[in-house]
Structure formats: structure tokens, C-alpha cells
């Protein structure tokens, strides 16, 4: 019964039977898993495919042939001997090149070796405690002579700086191998030439003064396209140009306060020796005649730049300028910006300095610390009040070096750069506040009016006259 039903089902006519599909290259069963159905017909076919592929690759591959390299040179006996004698025999041929060679019978010992009776030397005094004695002893001078030479130069009131060049002559070697000092010449500073010469058992010193012209150096020019390069073109050294810019920045905005037709004057301390040596000292005077605005006549007075031109009032004014709290580039300025952590545009109320972790932070101006502690997103923060409603703040510090109430002077260490609070990395966020309102630090100038004794006013003007005249 069961069977007949199956038979019946088998016997049922096939309705809509599909024709056999056409063979396609896709049906080619080439990728056989050789780990399954071992030794089946399909497995053997797979192995055959693999081996024929390997054979095909081996047939395609270039052949392996030995590379030809430099061949070792082989000489016949007489030639090899010659090359060996010259010390350039082939190493591959077992050459003794580089080995010390024994003398032959042709070498005869010297009956006596010549001795130099005098040695002329030039040396420089080394750093630290080397001194003239150190240099001379190092060069083979008898210790007593070296000490005597140093004592003589000291008696001329001169201490020799490291790097001072000394030319000297030593006599014939004594029993111990050291040589006596015969003669010595050096320049002690810019204006004195010292000469030592043997006199019997001792040394005698003679000195020659070198004329030095100490009139200050004056540089004048027009601002033109750029102040810095005009200064350089007029002959100011990079150092002098930088000092000039720093000086006038204490009074005016160098970026916008200087025009093309303005004329600058620099007076620098200068010393010209008759020997040709020139030493240019610090900036003594920085003047600027301005087409628009009052002229500047700045003189260094008690370590500060004082404008003698504005001293028509009771006394000259002193402006110490702003002092950047860290020596680092500004990475973000005052104004609107997109906050990297909070992800929305907001006002950036200060200046960011891209300083390294741990860099010292200095007070921008003299004042009193009114806060030193945690201030929310600002992290560890120091605030300094400078009077006249002016406050500076320094944020994200890693460590603070002052406590509330501390009186600080300009440039005093107040803490170290860090990344505390809302900060993506070590930097200093510096703010200036005027009556509680954040203002652009770029526009701030800490002006303290008339700390100069009014009586000094005349002296300052006399100094300017002296520097500009003559
Ligand atoms: Zn900031």
C-alpha cells in the first residue's frame, strides 16, 4: 500500500520540466578543497589542477643563473712581490696589506736626532679655570714660567677671557722635557696689547695701549615698506633692530602706528679699536619722527625706556609695555572661534600661547595676586591686579608659584604651563580684563605715569642731546 503510493507518485507525469541548463564556465569546479573527501575522484582532479598550476609558474619563472662578480686577481710570483712591497696586494690573494712590516737590512739607525731649539705656538685660553697657566702648561711650558706669565698679566689689571688668542715661543727642552717661555704676545681686551719677553731668569712685561674710538654709532633711515628690513638695510644688526622694535613697542603699536614716511634714528654704544676690531653695544636711543603722531625720543633711563619728546609735561612718562608671560608662539588670538571641546562657536576671551608643558610663566606687569587656585574650565589659574581696574589672568597652569596676596614685579615667575581644566593640550590661556570685561591683550599697555623724578627731566633731555649731537 505504502509502496504503491510512492510508485504512483513516481508515475505521475512531469509537468513543465525544465530543459537541462547549458554548461557554463562558471560550473567549472576548479577550486577543490584538498582537505576533504581524500582520494576521491574530485580530490585527484583538484590535486592535478594544483600541480599543473605549479608547473606553469615554474615554467614562467626566469632561470637561476650565477651572477658574475669581480674575480680575485692572481699574480705570478715576481708581480705579487712588487704589489706586496707597495702595500696594495690583492686581499683575496692573501695580501699582508695593512700589517706592519719589519725593517730590512737597508735601514741604519740615526746616530742623533735633530732637536728644535724653539717652538712657536698659537693657542686659545680654554673655558672654565683654564687661564693662561693652563694653556701654557698644556703646550709644554715649564710650570714656573707659566705661573709667572699669568701673574704678570694680572698685574696689568686684566683677567683674560676664555677664547683669548695667545701667541708664544718656547725655548729648547730642559731636562724634564718641558720648555722655557721665551716670548709671549696677547691682546688683553680691546685696548691693550701685552708682550712678555725673557729677561735673564725671569720675564719682563711691556704693554701697548690700543686707541679705541668709543663714539656711539648712529643709524638713520626711512621706514619704507617695512620697519625691520629698513633698519637692517640701514646697517642695524638683527640684535639692534630687535632692541629698537622692542623699545618703540613700549610706546606705540608697531603694526599700525608706523607709516612709510616715518624716519627712524638709532644710537648704539660702539667701540672701534685701532686694530680694526669693532664691538657694537646695546641700543642707547630709539627715535621715530612720525608723519602722523608725536615723535618718539626714547632713551634708556634706569633700565627703562623713557620718551623725552613727551616730557613737555611735568615729567617724562614711563611705559614698560606689555610683557608676554611665556616665550612661545601665539596659537589662538582674541575673538570668535570654534571651541574644540565644547563644539560650538564662542568668544575666545584671551590669547593662547602654544607653550610646552612646564614652561615658566611670568607676570605680564607689576601687581598683586588676587587669585591662585582652581577656576572651573580655566583649571589652575592665577589672577593679578595691576591697578586702574586692570587684571591679567593665566590659566591651565600645571603648577602655581604664587599665593593670593603676593606682590609681584613684571617678569616674576608665577607658575608653569600645563593643561588643567578644559584644555586639549599644554598651553597658556592669557586674558586681560579691564573693569571685569575681557579686552584684547594686544591692545593693552601698562603705563605708569611719571615715576621719574621731575628733576631728572632736564638730565634726560641733556642725554638725548648728547646722544644725537657730536
Ligand atoms: Zn584660550
pLDDT at 92: 64
Q: How far is the CA of 331 from the centre of ligand 1 (A)?
A: 9
Percentage with pLDDT > 70 across the chain: 80
> How many angstroms separate the alpha carbon of residue 393 from the centre of ligand 1?
11
- 347 vs 338, higher pLDDT: 347
| Burial grade of 273 (CB within 10 A; 0-12, 13-18, 19 or more) | middle
Q: Give yes or no: residues 348 and 429 share one domain.
A: yes
Shared domain check, 405 and 372? yes
Statement to judge: residues 222 and 288 lie in one domain: yes
Q: What is the mean pLDDT of the chain?
A: 80
Taking the centre of ligand 1 as the mean of its atom positions, its distance from the CA of residue 366, in whole angstroms, is 23
Q: Which residue has the higher pLDDT, 179 or 459?
A: 179
Residue 154 maps to which CATH number? 3.10.450.350
CA of 380 from ligand 1 middle (Å) equals 13
- pLDDT value at residue 461: 78
Would 55 be classed as within a structural domain? no
Please indicate, yes or no, whether residues 178 and 242 belong to a single structural domain of this protein: no
Q: For 34, which DSSP code?
A: T
Task: Give the SS3 label for residue 99.
Answer: coil
Flag the least confident range among 75-79, 147-151, 180-184, 322-326: 75-79
CB 219 within 8 A of CB 265: yes
For strands 330-332 and 351-353, give the pairing.
antiparallel
- Same domain flag for 367 and 437: yes
- Please tell me which residue, 102 or 110, carries the higher pLDDT value: 110
Check whether residue 335 and residue 434 sit in a common domain.
yes
Q: pLDDT tens across 238-263, in order?
A: 888 888 888 887 777 776 778 888 89
The answer to whether 309 and 325 have CB atoms below 8 angstroms apart is: no
What sign for the dihedral angle of Cα 148, 153, 156, 158?
negative
Compute, in angstroms, the gap from residue 352 CA to the centroid of ligand 1: 5
Instruction: Assess whether 222 and 185 both reside in one domain.
Output: no
- Write down the pTM of the prediction: 0.42
Pair 353, 430: CB distance under 8 Å: yes
Residue 221 sits in the same domain as residue 204: no
- Closest to 244 in 3D by CA, of 218, 280, 299, 283: 283
Separation CA 88–CA 458 (nearest Å): 85
**Residue 416: what pLDDT?**
93
Do 438 and 355 lie in one domain? The reply is yes
Contact by Cβ (8 Å): 416, 395: no
440 Cα to the center of ligand 1, angstroms: 12
Number of separate domains in the chain: 3
The parent domain of residue 292 ranges over 217-319
Calpha distance 463→305 (Å, rounded): 13
pLDDT attached to residue 96:
60
Backbone torsion region of residue 347, taken as left when φ is above 0, otherwise alpha when ψ lies between -120 and 50, otherwise beta: beta
- Tell me the mean pLDDT in the region 315-338: 68
Range 109-118 average pLDDT = 83
What is the spatial distance between Cα 115 and Cα 171, in angstroms, rounded to a whole number?
11
Cα 332 to ligand 1 centroid, rounded to whole Å = 7
The answer to whether residues 271 and 367 belong to one domain is no
What's the 378 CA to ligand 1 centre distance in angstroms?
9
In the reported structure, the alpha carbon of residue 364 is separated from the centroid of ligand 1 by a whole-number distance in angstroms of 16
pLDDT bin (cut points 50, 70, 90) of residue 184 is very high
Mean pLDDT is lowest, of 36-50, 150-164, 449-463, for 449-463
Could you report the per-residue pLDDT of 53-107, keeping only the tens digit for each?
Answer: 999 999 998 888 888 776 666 667 777 777 666 666 666 666 666 556 667 788 8
Distance from C-alpha of 304 to C-alpha of 368, rounded to nearest angstrom: 21
According to DSSP, residue 126 is labeled P
Whether residue 366 contacts residue 333, with contact meaning beta carbons closer than 8 Å, is answered with no
Q: Both 388 and 408 in a single domain?
A: yes
Alpha-carbon distances, residue 208 vs 45, 122, 153, 426 (angstroms): 108, 20, 13, 58
pLDDT at 455: 63
Give dist(CA 353, CA 259) in Å, integer: 29
Higher pLDDT, 454 or 183: 183
Position 422 confidence tier, pLDDT thresholds 50, 70, 90: confident
334 and 438, same domain (yes or no):
yes
Task: Evaluate whether residue 152 is within a structural domain.
Answer: yes
Rounded average pLDDT over 314-338: 67
Q: What is the pLDDT of residues 260-300, one digit of tens each?
A: 888 999 999 888 888 888 888 889 899 998 887 778 888 88
- Confidence band of 11 (pLDDT split at 50, 70, 90): very low
Interatomic CA distance for residues 81 and 117, integer angstroms: 43
71 belongs to a structural domain = no
The DSSP symbol for 93 reads G
CATH of the domain at 359: 2.70.70.10
How far is the centre of ligand 1, averaged over its atoms, from the C-alpha of 404 (Å)? 23
Amino acid at each position: 500500500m505504502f509502496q504503491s503510493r510512492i510508485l504512483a507518485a513516481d508515475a505521475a507525469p512531469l509537468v513543465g520540466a525544465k530543459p537541462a541548463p547549458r554548461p557554463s564556465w562558471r560550473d567549472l569546479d576548479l577550486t577543490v578543497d584538498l582537505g576533504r573527501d581524500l582520494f576521491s575522484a574530485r580530490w585527484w582532479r583538484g590535486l592535478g589542477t594544483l600541480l599543473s598550476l605549479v608547473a606553469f609558474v615554474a615554467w614562467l619563472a626566469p632561470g637561476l643563473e650565477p651572477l658574475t662578480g669581480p674575480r680575485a686577481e692572481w699574480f705570478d710570483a715576481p708581480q705579487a712581490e712588487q704589489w706586496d712591497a707597495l702595500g696594495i696586494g690583492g686581499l683575496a690573494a692573501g695580501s699582508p696589506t695593512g700589517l706592519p712590516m719589519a725593517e730590512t737590512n737597508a735601514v741604519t739607525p740615526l746616530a742623533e736626532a735633530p732637536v728644535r731649539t724653539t717652538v712657536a705656538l698659537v693657542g686659545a685660553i680654554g673655558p672654565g679655570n683654564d687661564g693662561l697657566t693652563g694653556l701654557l702648561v698644556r703646550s709644554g711650558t715649564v710650570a714656573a714660567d707659566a705661573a709667572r706669565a699669568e701673574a704678570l698679566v694680572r698685574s696689568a689689571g686684566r683677567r683674560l677671557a676664555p677664547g683669548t688668542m695667545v701667541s708664544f715661543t718656547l725655548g729648547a727642552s730642559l731636562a724634564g722635557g718641558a720648555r722655557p717661555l721665551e716670548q709671549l704676545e696677547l691682546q688683553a681686551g680691546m685696548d691693550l696689547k701685552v708682550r712678555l719677553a725673557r729677561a735673564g731668569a725671569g720675564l719682563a712685561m711691556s704693554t701697548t695701549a690700543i686707541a679705541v674710538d668709543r663714539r656711539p654709532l648712529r643709524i638713520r633711515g626711512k621706514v619704507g615698506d617695512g620697519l625691520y628690513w629698513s633698519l637692517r638695510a640701514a646697517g642695524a644688526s638683527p640684535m639692534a633692530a630687535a632692541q629698537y622694535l622692542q623699545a618703540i613697542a613700549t610706546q606705540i603699536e608697531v603694526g599700525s602706528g608706523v607709516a612709510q614716511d616715518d624716519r627712524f634714528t638709532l644710537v648704539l654704544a660702539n667701540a672701534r679699536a685701532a686694530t680694526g676690531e669693532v664691538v657694537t653695544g646695546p641700543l642707547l636711543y630709539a627715535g621715530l619722527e612720525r608723519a602722523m603722531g608725536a615723535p618718539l625720543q626714547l632713551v634708556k633711563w634706569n633700565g627703562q625706556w623713557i620718551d623725552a619728546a613727551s616730557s613737555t609735561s611735568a615729567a617724562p612718562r614711563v611705559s614698560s609695555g606689555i610683557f608676554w608671560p611665556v616665550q612661545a608662539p601665539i596659537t589662538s588670538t582674541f575673538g570668535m572661534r570654534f571651541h574644540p571641546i565644547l563644539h560650538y562657536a564662542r568668544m575666545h576671551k584671551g590669547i593662547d600661547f602654544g607653550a610646552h608643558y612646564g614652561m615658566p610663566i611670568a607676570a605680564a606687569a607689576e601687581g598683586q595676586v588676587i587669585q591662585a587656585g582652581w577656576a572651573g574650565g580655566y583649571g589652575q589659574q592665577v589672577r593679578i591686579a595691576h591697578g586702574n581696574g586692570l587684571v591679567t589672568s593665566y590659566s591651565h597652569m600645571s603648577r602655581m608659584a604664587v599665593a593670593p596676596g603676593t606682590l609681584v614685579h613684571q617678569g616674576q615667575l608665577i607658575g608653569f604651563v600645563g593643561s588643567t581644566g578644559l584644555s586639549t593640550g599644554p598651553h597658556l590661556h592669557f586674558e586681560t580684563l579691564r573693569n571685569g570685561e575681557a579686552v584684547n591683550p594686544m591692545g593693552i599697555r601698562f603705563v605708569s605715569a611719571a615715576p621719574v623724578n621731575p628733576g631728572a627731566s632736564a638730565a634726560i633731555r641733556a642725554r638725548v642731546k648728547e646722544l644725537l649731537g657730536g
